[in-house]
Structure 1
Amino acid sequence: MTAPTADRSVGVDLTLLALGTVVLLWASAFVGIRAVADAFDPGPLSLGRLVVGALALTVIARPWRQRIPGGSTLSLVVLYGVAWFGLYNIALNAAETTLDAGTTALVVNIGPILIVLGAGLIFKEGFPRPLMIGMLVAFAGVVLIALSTRQDSAVETASTTGVLLGVAAAVLYAIGALAQKPTLAVTTPAMSVWLACTIGAVACLPFLPRLLTQLGEATVGEIAWVVYLGVFPTAIGFAAWAYALKRLSSGQVASTTYLVPVVATAISWVLLDEVPAPLAFAGGALCLIGVAVTRWRPRRAPAPH
């Protein structure tokens, strides 16, 4: 009895470590993207990050030793490779051209609610009242974040566009998480992420000429940020996510990312001297409360003896 208990404890510890890694690295990604927003356009930045990530994952996954899945599994990999690794990154990068890192992280993290909604539609888990109420509360938070933009009309339009791009990124995040979960039954986490990252990079190849131009104009520090984004939030962060997702439900793993906006805001405060407006904090709090409501389950009364 002792050995299985110890093995289970180690497994839980590794899963928690993986989730903590996801939170820290994904939060830092929002800051890194914001730091190079003036040097790289959204598309080229996505391509640069994904190429570096795919190279790093080649070392981690060693794909030549593994079998590439086929059939419906490969179709799902292509789906979340294009949607999550390709389009999501472009939408996220574009959002951060007008929004600070913390606010963007707050908007994108309505994704867990959408994952629960998608699970209800796809896996027939139903739509309990806490889910619907939580969704309304969270979207009210997104509205507050949008209203927190400055009154100057040009800035306000750009910032509102940024919020909409953040919502689009959240939708793509949810699609990716829901599509990835079944693939982990037949492929390893690292291989799953390597395939998706490579597919995402191929989808972004039209941005290659612009990426080469901007790399030639960028500083060493800005290029270092691109390498960081590829190695850490992309390769290591997504591999840690997949490791946890293989062992837990999509909702359990996604719920951990509720901590990302808090960590991203703290990092951006220290490194970039950026703090969301007070109303954005209120909106972010509503987003988090809404997500918490979706996870609420009433306690059942004990059965009478």
Structure 2
Amino acid sequence: MTRAKATAIGFTAVLMWALLALLTIGSAPVPPFLLNALCFAIGGTLGLIWTARRGLSVLRTVSWKVYAFGTLGLFGYHFLYFTAFRIAPTAETGLIAYLWPLFIVLFSGLLPGEKLAAQHIIGALVAFGGAALIVLGRGSEGEVSALGLVLAFACALTWAAYSVLSRRLGDVPTESVTVFCLATAALSLIAHLALEQTIWPQGVLGWGAVLVLGLGPVGAAFFTWDMGMKKGDIQILGVASYAAPLLSTLALVLAGITAPSYMILLAAVLIAGGAAMAARPRKQDGARSTDSAG
């Protein structure tokens, strides 16, 4: 698989995550950990079907340490995210939680064979500015809490670390994400039973939203993201991830849930500009290509 193809596959995860807010609204009033358990169970089942093409025995070749790492990444991120918003359902919490694309860009410089250029950092910061306009524009539903903000910061670090460290597991088959999902579903069910009241999806619309969530944003997206992180351009994917809150807002606009605004347009310009800046070939790369051709 080429680097460009893996990057494109990884970006499909961002496109699927763009539907997360819309589908989550459709799944209401299911509490978050129960929704997590249902969706990851569907995603894990999808993974089992996909893995069967190679034979489920491939899952036995993966170390338990890898499974522990992947489960900690998926469940840990969602547990911290939901808990942060339970404590502090504010725009500030969402903004801090959305530092993970920037952290991915910064952490990627620690990977062997990866070069972090100034354009990657500047592009990520510009795109983050666009995401900030989107997130802060949604307003707050509660009071700012120091603990909530700390948990949001921890969740951003968790997802960034999971994503970047996946690069070090390049030889581990993506099929391993199947076990990550099923284990996360089990842990989410335990968290639900301990922390929430059981409220099932309402009607065809509610169950349909849960099914689509499990097949896409909370299912296939983690498999394609794994491919992108392991084989693709990690800096470009990090910056491009800021398209998710923008596309999510556009989906809500098209659904008639959110009104269009000039702020959304400005956010689009900043996010697209930041991504273009990060993806622009560096001068030394162009010079190297010219020298090679000669």
TM-score by length of 1: 0.70
Measure the CA separation in 2 of the matches of 1:160 and 1:33. 26
Q: CA deviation at 1:48?
A: 1.6
Q: CA deviation at 1:90?
A: 4.2
Mark the runs of 5 or more structure 1 residues left unpaired by the alignment.
Answer: 1-7
Q: CA deviation at 1:194?
A: 0.4
Q: In the alignment, is the contact (CA less than 8 A) between 1:26 and 1:260 conserved in 2?
A: yes
Measure the CA separation in 2 of the matches of 1:276 and 1:160. 32
Q: CA deviation at 1:145?
A: 5.1
Counterpart of 1:3 in structure 2 is none
Q: CA deviation at 1:117?
A: 0.9
Measure the CA separation in 2 of the matches of 1:40 and 1:165. 22
Change (3 A) 1:29 1:168: farther
Counterpart of 1:178 in structure 2 is 164
Q: In the alignment, is the contact (CA less than 8 A) between 1:81 and 1:199 conserved in 2?
A: yes
Q: CA deviation at 1:214?
A: 0.9
Counterpart of 1:121 in structure 2 is 110
Q: CA deviation at 1:96?
A: 8.0
Q: In the alignment, is the contact (CA less than 8 A) between 1:42 and 1:91 conserved in 2?
A: no
Q: In the alignment, is the contact (CA less than 8 A) between 1:99 and 1:162 conserved in 2?
A: no
Measure the CA separation in 2 of the matches of 1:256 and 1:133. 13
Q: In the alignment, is the contact (CA less than 8 A) between 1:115 and 1:250 conserved in 2?
A: yes
Q: In the alignment, is the contact (CA less than 8 A) between 2:6 and 2:227 conserved in 1?
A: yes
Q: In the alignment, is the contact (CA less than 8 A) between 1:53 and 1:230 conserved in 2?
A: yes
Q: In the alignment, is the contact (CA less than 8 A) between 2:13 and 2:222 conserved in 1?
A: yes
| RMSD of equivalent CA atoms | 4.3
Q: In the alignment, is the contact (CA less than 8 A) between 1:33 and 1:93 conserved in 2?
A: no
Measure the CA separation in 2 of the matches of 1:53 and 1:135. 30
Measure the CA separation in 2 of the matches of 1:265 and 1:145. 8
- Give secondary structure in 1 for the equivalent of 2:141: helix
Q: CA deviation at 1:155?
A: 3.2
Change (3 A) 1:121 1:59: same
Asked if 1:213 corresponds to 2:198, the answer is yes
Q: In the alignment, is the contact (CA less than 8 A) between 1:40 and 1:214 conserved in 2?
A: yes
Q: In the alignment, is the contact (CA less than 8 A) between 1:77 and 1:183 conserved in 2?
A: no
Q: In the alignment, is the contact (CA less than 8 A) between 2:11 and 2:225 conserved in 1?
A: no
Q: CA deviation at 1:17?
A: 6.3
Mark the runs of 5 or more structure 2 residues left unpaired by the alignment.
Answer: none
Change (3 A) 1:287 1:21: closer
Measure the CA separation in 2 of the matches of 1:223 and 1:243. 29
Q: CA deviation at 1:179?
A: 2.4
Change (3 A) 1:205 1:146: closer
